[in-house]
C-alpha cells in the first residue's frame, strides 16, 4: 500500500504523503524515544526525519519497505542527536492515558495494563540506546533481524548480542520495579 502512495507523492500529489506520515508516525516516534529517551527531542527528530524522507523520496529505490527506510533515517538522526548533545539521557516519565473504564473489572484490567506499560517504558529507558533500539524494533515493532540490520547498520551477531543483553537488563529492571510495587 505504501508503494501506491509513494508513486502518488512522486507524481505531485502532496496530500498522499499525509497517509505515509499517519501510517508510520507512531513507529518512528517509538524508535526515536528508544534512543533519545526524551519526548520533545524525539518529536523533533521524527519531524525532521519525515521532512528528509519527503525530500529524498525520489531516491527511495523500493528495495526495502518504506517503514524500514524511514526507521533507518530516524535511527541515524537519533544517534547523531545524541552525539551532538554529548549528554546523559534522563528517564522521562510518561503520563498515563486518562480514559475512564466502562466497568469495574475492565477498570482493574486497564489499571494493571497501564502499570505494566509504564513499568515497561521505564525499563526500556534504563537500557542503553542500542539495546533499547534493538528490543523496541524486534519485540514491539516486530521487525526481522534482516530489517533491523538494515535500519541500524549493526551486524546480525551484534543485534543478537544487544537483544540478549537488552532482555537480561530489561528483566532485571522489571523485576526491581515489580518488587517495589509489592
Q: Could you report the per-residue pLDDT of 52-108, keeping only the tens digit for each?
A: 999 999 898 888 899 999 999 999 999 999 888 764 433 333 343 444 444 545 554
Q: Find the CATH number of the domain harbouring 123.
A: 1.10.10.10
Residues 61 and 127 in one domain: no
Residue 127 lies in a domain: yes
Do 65 and 129 belong together in one domain? no
Same domain, 175 and 124: yes
Domain boundary at 28, 53, 85, which?
Answer: 85
Do 21 and 79 belong together in one domain? Answer: yes
Q: Which three cell numbers stand for residue 127?
A: 537500557
Residue 98 lies in a domain: no
Which pLDDT band, with edges at 50, 70 and 90, does 181 fall under?
A: low
Its domain, for residue 53, covers: 2-85
**Are residue 68 and residue 121 in the same domain, yes or no?**
no
Across residues 3-22, what is the average pLDDT? 90
Lookup result for grid cell 528495495: 63
Regarding whether 74 and 147 lie in a shared domain, the answer is no
Indicate the pLDDT class of residue 2, thresholds 50, 70 and 90.
confident
d(CA 28, CA 72): 10
Considering the domain architecture, whether residues 60 and 125 belong to the same structural domain is answered as no
pLDDT, mean over the chain = 82
Residues 76 and 6 in one domain: yes
Domain total for the chain?
A: 2
Could you tell me if 110 and 163 lie in one domain? yes
Answer for the pair 25, 66: CB distance below 8 angstroms, yes or no. no
Does 78 lie in the same domain as 15?
A: yes
We report the CATH number of the domain holding residue 51 as 1.10.1740.10
Residue at a domain's end among 52, 85, 118: 85
Residue that finishes a domain, picked among 85, 116, 133: 85
pLDDT tens-digit readout, 116-138: 677 778 888 889 999 999 988 99
- Assess contact for 32 and 74: CB atoms under 8 A: yes
Q: Looking at the domain assignment, is residue 152 inside a domain?
A: yes
Q: How far is CA 113 from its chain centroid?
A: 20
Burial of 44-74, coded b for 16+ CB within 10 Å and e otherwise, reads ebbeebbeebeeeeeebeeebebbbbbbbbb
Q: Has residue 92 been placed in a domain?
A: no
* Claim to verify: residue 70 and residue 109 sit in the same structural domain: no
Amino acid at each position: 500500500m505504501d508503494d501506491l502512495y509513494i508513486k502518488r507523492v512522486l507524481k505531485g500529489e502532496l496530500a498522499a504523503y499525509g497517509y505515509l506520515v499517519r501510517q508510520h508516525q507512531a513507529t518512528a516516534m517509538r524508535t526515536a524515544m528508544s534512543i533519545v529517551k526524551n519526548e520533545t527531542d524525539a518529536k523533533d527528530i521524527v519531524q525532521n526525519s519525515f521532512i528528509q524522507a519527503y525530500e529524498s523520496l525520489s531516491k527511495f529505490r523500493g528495495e526495502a519497505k518504506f517503514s524500514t527506510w524511514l526507521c533507518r533515517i530516524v535511527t541515524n538522526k537519533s544517534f547523531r542527536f545524541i552525539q551532538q548533545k554529548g549528554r546523559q539521557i534522563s528517564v522521562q516519565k510518561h503520563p498515563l492515558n486518562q480514559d475512564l473504564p466502562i466497568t469495574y473489572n475492565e477498570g482493574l484490567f486497564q489499571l494493571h495494563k497501564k502499570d505494566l506499560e509504564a513499568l515497561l517504558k521505564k525499563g526500556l529507558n534504563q537500557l542503553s540506546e542500542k539495546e533499547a533500539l534493538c528490543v523496541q524494533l524486534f519485540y514491539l515493532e516486530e521487525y526481522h533481524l534482516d530489517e533491523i540490520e538494515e535500519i541500524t547498520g549493526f551486524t546480525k551477531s551484534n543485534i543478537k548480542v544487544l537483544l540478549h543483553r537488552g532482555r537480561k537488563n530489561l528483566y532485571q529492571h522489571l523485576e526491581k520495579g515489580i518488587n517495589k510495587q509489592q
